A and B are shown apart, each in its own frame.
Chain A
Amino acid sequence: MTIEISSGITESTRNEMRELAGRYPNPRSALLPMLHVVQSAQDEVSAEGIAACAEILEITQAEVTAVATFYTMYKFSPVGKHHIGVCINTMCGLLGGDAVYEKVAERLGATHNGPSADGNFWLERIECQAACTHAPVMTVDWEFMDDVTPESAVGVIDALAAGEEVWSTRGPKIRDFQATEHTLGMASDELATEGNCVDAKMLAGLMAAKGSNNS
């Protein structure tokens, strides 16, 4: 399935934002999801997007901006096609994430929280992703790429750059940053049945309990 994403804050985007506002007893609760929808439409939190949030929620643009700037997932310049995160918190970083980050930054010609030389990627040193069992962890458009090495991480970037099909290690086929932002904003998509997100590490205890772990 494909998600249609237009370039501006169109009427259909506004309708999604209004739908979100309607999900909560108090519409303002929808602000974070609405900002994700803005990023899904515009690849960043644009001035136009902030204005749309303010108008729909009947609050000031300054109030929207104050919220948007608090949260690290919102970006204020275009992310490009793919967001690349490399976890450098203690577990991942020390188990090799530092080396992964270095190689990926070199490959992309990017620095922390900024675009690649060609503008197609965004690189970020990210904090613990609740996946330390799978350290070192990378994310592509926030989908898990577990147990990476510097080589495998650069391989993923090369494949993405070449437009090849890339799968999350515990999730669906990689789409792009804007598509993930749509998933986050609407808090759903059609991909729940795609890919297998339960891997050997998540089953380690169960297999040990069943006595079938003989290594």
Chain B
Amino acid sequence: MKLTPVITEFWDDPSLYTLDGYRSHGGYQALAKALKDTPDNLISTVKDSGLRGRGGAGFPTGLKWSFVPQNDGKPHYLVVNADESEPGACKDIPIMMANPHALVEGVIITSFAIRANHAFIYIRGEVPEAIRKVAYAVKQAREAGLIGTNILGSGFDLEVTVHAGAGAYICGEETALLDSLEGYRGQPRLKPPFPAVAGLYASPTVINNVETIANIPYIIDRGVDWFRQFGTEKSPGFKVFAVSGHVKRPGIYEAPLGITMRELLDYAGGMRDGSEVKFWIPGGSSVPMLTAEHLDLPLTYEAMAEAGTMLGTGTPMVFDQTVSVVKAVTRWLEFYKHESCGKCTPCREGTYWITGVLEKFEHGHGTETEMDTLNTLCGQIAGRSFCALGDAAATPYPGAMKYFSDEFKAATHTSADEQFDPIKSYVFSGARV
């Protein structure tokens, strides 16, 4: 399958991040078109396109928008989730750095469609370069009359606020993000009510991922048929895949949904010399791992679900035979333990215990009984936690056991570093081409 640069098409133009640069490639045509349409029509168009959220869960975007009650007399809000902190996910930050106006144009169109007059872009605080590029795009759009009052003579008013977070993975969870944006500790809220009914300041709110919103101008400009020529019936369109790990050319590859991992690997130059795929994860550490036998599956929401995993953020991490699965899983659990917000017991206590036991395995001191203990612990977290972070934390271990139980058995007597010399996984000292 061929690569299809759309959001990434003009990234080699160093002026793309400026208003003039973006406009020279047709930017803001979609906005002019959208403002002549009606909000209801725009929601229908996005529904018809079949676009699914790119934040991880793949929820249909148009459907989400349609949940916002209309003519309810309340202010509506759009909140862009630019918290990208999922281990392995690295596509929203590049989009904001290279093509911030695609996001800003998408924000204006989406706000018009859901009848919001104030939009917020919540960007994780650890990435100032993304914040300054988006802020600059917002500033230029405002100066050009694309944000503010009576945009392009349409009578539509919009304020856009760029907001920096302060370091907390949980703030990517949409309701925790709302609490954080209201100036509180970022802890998830009980759902329902869903944000579309009671979100920011208890008003109807749409929360979408950066890449989701960056798709909108292209769909509005080029139409549903154009969009649906890519991907599958259930996974229409294209995806900004970010391929990382032991490949020759890690980086951003935009392709239709349905491309296979093997094809993406080919574009990425294949594995580094002398190495082969041991395990890979389609989209963030929160989804179960796959192995070399899954390389020919199409990267779609449905095919990944059938294989027992998820497309997630669509940012494949590829590890070769030098990597200890025990060590990789332990490191991810250390992350979840650190990032657990502490609100509910299964996750707060469970991540603590799982990590402690895994660390024993990493050091070669696990026991066969503790392999069951880990299963039990994961079972007690999954489905019993207040939010999806708990479920995510319960994912890596069972996922790894499905294919690499031998390695955990070996870790009852031999440490991860003795099983796999860590230096061999390093990409420096000439190992990378």
Interface residues of A (CB under 8 A from B): 23-26, 28-33, 35-36, 57, 66-67, 70-74, 85, 88-91, 93-96, 98-99, 126-136, 139, 141-144, 149-150, 168, 170-172, 180, 183-185, 187-189, 191-193, 196-198, 200-209, 213, 215
Contact = CB atoms under 8 A, between A and B. Distances in A.
Nearest to A170: B129
Q: Which of B84, B332, B426, B433 has the most CB of A within 10 A?
A: B426
Interface string B221-241: 000000000000000000001
B428 A96 contact: yes
B167 A128 contact: no
Nearest to B136: A192
A215 to B, nearest CB: 7
Contact of B14 (A30, A134, A188, A198): A198
Contacts of B244: 91, 132-133, 135
Contacts of A149: 428-429
B242 interface: yes
A129 B255 CA distance: 23
A89 B331 contact: yes
Interface string B119-132: 00000111111011
Interface of B: 2-5, 8-9, 11-12, 14, 16-17, 75, 84-90, 92-94, 97-98, 118, 124-129, 131-133, 135-136, 139, 161-169, 180-186, 201, 241-246, 248-255, 267-269, 285, 315, 317, 319, 323, 327-328, 331-332, 335, 338-339, 422-423, 425-429, 433
14 contacts: A23-B161, A32-B164, A96-B427, A127-B87, A128-B87, A128-B335, A142-B126, A171-B128, A184-B164, A192-B132, A198-B97, A204-B250, A205-B5, A205-B267
Given A205-B254, A208-B267, A198 B166 contact: no
B182 A192 contact: no
Given A70-B168, A198-B14, 12 more contacts: A32-B125, A71-B166, A90-B328, A90-B331, A91-B317, A128-B335, A130-B89, A132-B88, A139-B126, A180-B128, A188-B136, A208-B3
A32 B165 contact: yes
